Chains A and B, each alone.
Chain A
Amino acid sequence: MQVYGLWGKVLDVDLSTGRVSEERIHPITYRTFLGGRGLATYVLWRELGRKWRSVDPLGPENILAILTGPLTGYYPGIKLVVSGKSPQSCGVVGSAISSHVAYSIKAAGYDGILIRGASRDSVYVYVRDDLVEIRDASRLWGLRGLEFVKSLRRELGRDAPSLYIGPAGENLVRTAAVMARWFHAAGYGGYGAVMGSKKLKAVVVEGSGPLPPVARREEFLKLRYEVMDRVAARATFRMWGTTSGLWRVGYETSSEPVRNWVEEWHSREDFNHVVIERKYWIKNPWADWGCPLACMKVSRAVIDGATYYTDGPDYEMGAYLGSNLGVFEVDKAIALSALADDLGLCGIQTGNAVGFAVELYERGVITRDDVGYDLRWGDFNGLRKLVEDVAYRRGFGNVLAEGTYRAAIEVARMKGLPPEEVLKYAVQVKGVGVGAHGIRSRRDYPQPVAYAASVQGGDHTSVAGLPVNSEESEVWSAFLDSAVVCSFTSVEEDTMLKFLDAVTGWGITREELYGTVGLRILSLQRILLLLGGPDVRWDPRVHDDNPPRFYEPLPSGPYAGSTVSRDEVLKSVAEYYKQLGWDEYGVPTEETLKKLGLYDAVETVRALRRELGAS
């Protein structure tokens, strides 16, 4: 059977044995799971599903999946998905990253790379078309991002597309990201730590061949030009990227984290994209291969003689390492964002954990004796030190390096408090810090059900929403991450499906997308999330919920007093599960699994239901 848009094979690299092989992926598997997040979920289920609970995400059994999708290289924008068993949620998170590596993998003749086992010494994987080598990385290990990129350039004699980790990943920090091109991050999931656990510093891919053929070339080209024109016309986004959110989300929609989400509004007119554009951007626009939107920008700030570079900062980084920490001076938010990039930390998860720690300090739950120095809102020096301590697992940073959820449990243990007394300040869902888009004002895009029912926890790029057969649904996110497409260059489902059809010839309809293909991916992710383990397990009756903070009324801004009620959220969660064909606990029903062809999950689901005491 001919596959279009894909090569039908992935590289399989075992770092324990040094064995490298090619794995053929059956065309029907692609048609069933698409690629990216979907294919990663399938592979993880197939290979680890039976022993999922005992698989340590930071052990050699875990599989790191670096996967493109059928639209990679064809659809405007260039992304790939990093996945595996997540050290944050212990489920599967599809973590998308913009990187030239995506195109290069396909140009090398593969659809992705699976990495299993663990090396004894530090290594990097080098791919140049059909040459695949596991190389010594002892000269690169320990380097921060900017220095790593320079050193790799010196070693290879040229710039080469790479995914890499910084010190945070090397130190198995659960908020570590997989990085690319200085500032890009696959942050959700904590896969930087998975790379670190395998002693894998980087994956370098130089592909020189063509992309695989498409099913209908003329139609594909016509659609590509049409979408390129439409995306390039998104003037606001092109001009300011996501950085404009620092003003718009904070001031206009009241949904930006401010001081660990105590507030979601600020009126600091000097903390916005126009100030950043005028004073700090040294490159605008900036884009990865094939992206007409070019939403990225490069900023530079100098503080006390030290120069910091980052992109944007994009909204999430600026919010989480700015307003969420009480930092409203743009240069300092840039510096903290640059520091996170350089250390290989996810800015969202790290900003979430550090904000949590500052609130604990301000409330006196933790003290100077615990931290070693003062932690105050907006205190740049203390915050900078703590971010570094997280990356190197020093002192109290070692507690936060476990991510907000696990840190809360540990602080409760340290202080002899009931866990809920500390967890009430942790703004996370199922081990994943909530992205910088709140729900209380209802003026932003996440619905009240968004995080409570997501299979990726607090991931703002994969939120649940009603109705389930629309782009509001998490099924749509699963589709974008599996096809693999940047959500900022996406258009309506009708055109996206035509594009997919022109490339692959699969003829997937809207009904099939929402009724089977996307739902299948989501259902398997949900099963693996509920299995969890070894250190955390999620009870849907407890954990399919928002962080307690989201039930406190907003204290300030134009929507002061706004909140969501827990009753409303739980009703929405129940309705969402019903529409997906899941039971009252969010477990896919046997009927749904059979409809989706997931017969091998039926026994697992029966066991899950028994554990939950379901009738």
Chain B
Amino acid sequence: MFCAYFLGNLASQLGPAVCLELGECMDVLSLLDELLRSREVPLSVDELLVTLPDGRPIPPRATTCDVEEVRVLRLLRGG
């Protein structure tokens, strides 16, 4: 089971958490990208902060077999 927990307005768009039962290891960022597209959220993953639940960054090229939970919020605030 892989779970992504969303903060702020992302939570009002996607719900506070999305948990998925996956049959294979998937790249975490690619999976989130797919999720955003399927829910029609107009953001790319480089506009998000994706961390472990304790706030540490996820390892580079982390897969859903490496991490079970991530915390996701918008990175770019303003402009």
Contact = CB atoms under 8 A, between A and B. Distances in A.
A, B from the same assembly: yes
B42 A252 contact: yes
Interface in A147-189: none
Nearest to A235: B46
The contact size tier of chain A is: 35 or more
A534 interface: no
Contacts of A493: 55
A249 B41 CA distance: 12
Contact of B13 (A234, A435, A442): A442
A234 B46 contact: yes
Contact of A470 (B47, B57, B73): B73
Contacts, number: 77
A245 interface: yes
B76 A488 contact: yes
B12 interface: yes
A611 interface: no
A488 B79 CA distance: 8
A494 B79 contact: no
Contact of A316 (B8, B41, B73, B79): B79
A108 B79 CA distance: 30
A510 B13 CA distance: 27
A442 B9 contact: yes
Contact of B57 (A315, A435, A491): A491
Interface in A204-263: 233-237, 241-242, 245, 248-249, 252-253
Contacts of A488: 76, 79
Nearest to B47: A236
Given A492-B51, A492-B55, A495-B57, A460 B78 contact: yes
Nearest to A316: B79
Interface in B44-79: 44, 46-47, 49, 51, 54-57, 73-79
A315 B13 CA distance: 23
Contact of A314 (B44, B46, B49, B79): B79
B7 interface: yes
| Chain B interface residue bracket vs A | 20 to 34
A233 B46 contact: yes
Contacts of A563: none
Interface string B20-59: 0000000000000000000001101011010100111100
Counting chain A CB atoms within 10 Å of each CB, the highest count among B8, B13, B42 belongs to B8
A487 interface: yes
Given A235-B46, A315-B79, A461-B78, A445 B8 contact: yes
A463 interface: yes
A487 B47 CA distance: 12
B8 A447 contact: yes
A447 B9 contact: yes
A472 interface: yes
A437 interface: yes
Nearest to B74: A445
A586 B30 CA distance: 42
A320 to B, nearest CB: 12
Given A315-B79, A437-B78, A494-B57, A470 B13 contact: no
Contact of A463 (B7, B41, B75, B77): B77
Contacts of A445: 8-9, 74, 76-78
Contacts of B79: 241-242, 245, 249, 314-316, 488
B57 to A, nearest CB: 6
A344 interface: no
Interface string A474-501: 0000000000000110111111000000
Interface in A482-526: 487-488, 490-495, 510
Contacts of B12: 442
A461 B46 contact: no
B78 A487 contact: yes
Contacts of B75: 490
Contact of B46 (A236, A437, A510): A236
A318 B48 CA distance: 24
A61 interface: no
A341 to B, nearest CB: 17
> Which among B44, B47, B55, B77 has the highest number of chain A CB atoms within 10 Å?
B77
20 contacts: A233-B46, A235-B46, A236-B44, A242-B78, A253-B42, A314-B79, A442-B12, A442-B13, A443-B42, A446-B9, A447-B8, A460-B77, A461-B78, A470-B7, A470-B73, A472-B73, A487-B76, A492-B55, A492-B56, A494-B57
Interface of A: 233-237, 241-242, 245, 248-249, 252-253, 314-316, 435, 437, 442-447, 460-461, 463, 465, 467, 470-472, 487-488, 490-495, 510
Nearest first, the 3 A-B pairs at minimum CB distance are: A242-B79, A252-B42, A315-B79
Interface of B: 7-9, 12-13, 41-42, 44, 46-47, 49, 51, 54-57, 73-79
